[in-house]
Amino acid sequence: MNRITVIGAGALGMLFTVKLAEAVPDMELVVRRPSQKQLLMSAGVSLTEAGSWLDRKEKAARTSTVYPKVVLMNEERLIQDDSLAERENTTHWIVLAVKQSAFTKDLAEAVRRRMGPHSWVVCLQNGIGHVEAISSIIPEERIVLAVTTEGALRRSETEAAHTGRGVTWIGGAGSTDDEVAAAAQKKWVELLEVAGFQAFLSKNITSRVWHKLLINAVINPLTAILQVTNGELPGLPQAQQLMRALFDEGTALAAALRIELDPDLWEQLLEVCRRTSANRSSMLQDVLAGRPTEIDAINGGLLKKAESVGLFMPAHQAVYQLMKALEGRLSLVRH
């Protein structure tokens, strides 16, 4: 048997909660605030399939609503229930769908308390650095990395839209020789496929992480600063020059770190812009909502890696500083 706990009710958290509920009925969603818990318990979690892949004969987008068990992170009842599930030999998947800034030792400790011999932690994050943040508490061999290009938009505290279908790559954070971990990763791919996702195992998940990281490091900050959609970005000549500068610096860093990249990654980046043309990037959504962004985990993460190998990245440094200034201004407005 399988049980899934999704931690975080943002766009991706709600997307995976609704879709995975079709494959695994034993589903729960962990949130931080009592007010959001009450809303979700009352209204459920709703997902609208809003992408262009829908059958054109359909006059309205499809909406699905599920009612997972909703709990708060610090509820002792959740920990007790998890222990019972482990005794019953249930495989427990704990999906971390939170921002990189939430990857703290407190989070790792809270997750570890919910883990047993049949638990696996699935990381859905953008950027880099999250495994290092939690692997001192959660064993690396129990961490599954998920790199997804699925598009989702959070419409409210209980609703999300599935705005673009993508691919999800799965790999382990630990040794590639671990047969138990490899079997678990294969099982997770199967669950994703049953839920309607396109998912694959990757023997080089680090490369997949960097593919998404470099694409995000170009699209996210520029769309947030210019306040344009993904599709509008390449159509601005000066913006495309900045896109190329950020991309070239990122690929130079990957080469210095001996990380393999697809030779057509630039074309893949432009294809992401086309395929998600109407989407607002997650960083733009955060800026418009007055929330902190993931700039530290994305461009900031690249800058830290560059510093470690003595590489200067002026374009990334510039957009990083602009985003931090923008965050600072938004913080003043909030207060």
91-96/159-164 β-pairing: unpaired
The predicted structure's pLDDT at residue 126: 76
Q: Which residues of 61-84 are buried (b: 16+ CB within 10 A; e: fewer)?
A: eeeeebebebbebeeeebeebbee
91-96/119-123 β-pairing: parallel
Strand partners, 2: 91
Sheet with 151-154, strands from edge to edge, namely 62-66, 45-49, 159-164, 151-154
Total number of domains in the chain: 2
Domain identity same for 128 and 24: yes
Domain identity same for 185 and 253: no
- The answer to whether 1 and 191 are in contact (CB under 8 A) is no
Q: What is the pLDDT of residues 257-310, one digit of tens each?
A: 999 999 999 999 999 999 888 888 989 989 998 888 999 999 999 999 999 999
Domain identity same for 216 and 115: no
Q: Which residue has the higher pLDDT, 104 or 78?
A: 104
d(CA 70, CA 27): 9
Which residues are identified as catalytic?
A: 212
The predicted structure's pLDDT at residue 78: 53
The predicted structure's pLDDT at residue 291: 87
* 212, 228, 271, 281, 285 from 225: Cα distances, Å: 20, 8, 21, 11, 11
d(CA 28, CA 3): 8
Domain identity same for 52 and 184: yes
d(CA 281, CA 43): 26
Q: Which residues of 187-214 are buried (b: 16+ CB within 10 A; e: fewer)?
A: bbbebbeebebebeebeebbbbbbbbbb
Domain finish residue from 203, 225, 247: 203
Domain identity same for 227 and 185: no
Domain identity same for 269 and 177: no
Domain identity same for 154 and 210: no
Domain identity same for 124 and 95: yes
CATH at residue 318 = 1.10.1040.10
Domain identity same for 63 and 162: yes
- The answer to whether 287 and 224 are in contact (CB under 8 A) is yes
The predicted structure's pLDDT at residue 132: 79
Of the listed ranges 9-13, 16-20, 47-51, 86-90, the least confidently predicted one is 86-90
Give the range of the structural domain holding residue 280, as residue numbers without chain letter.
206-334
Locate 270 and state its tokens: 């432009």
Which one, of 184, 205, 86, 33, lies nearest residue 9 by Cα? 33
What pTM was computed for the model?
Answer: 0.87
Locate 193 and state its tokens: 């496929």
CATH at residue 95 = 3.40.50.720
Domain finish residue from 145, 172, 203: 203
Rounded (10°) angle between helices 205-226 and 237-256? 150
d(CA 245, CA 191): 39
Domain finish residue from 203, 224, 243: 203
Q: What is the pLDDT of residues 172-229, one digit of tens each?
A: 987 777 899 999 999 999 999 999 999 999 999 999 999 999 999 999 999 999 999 9
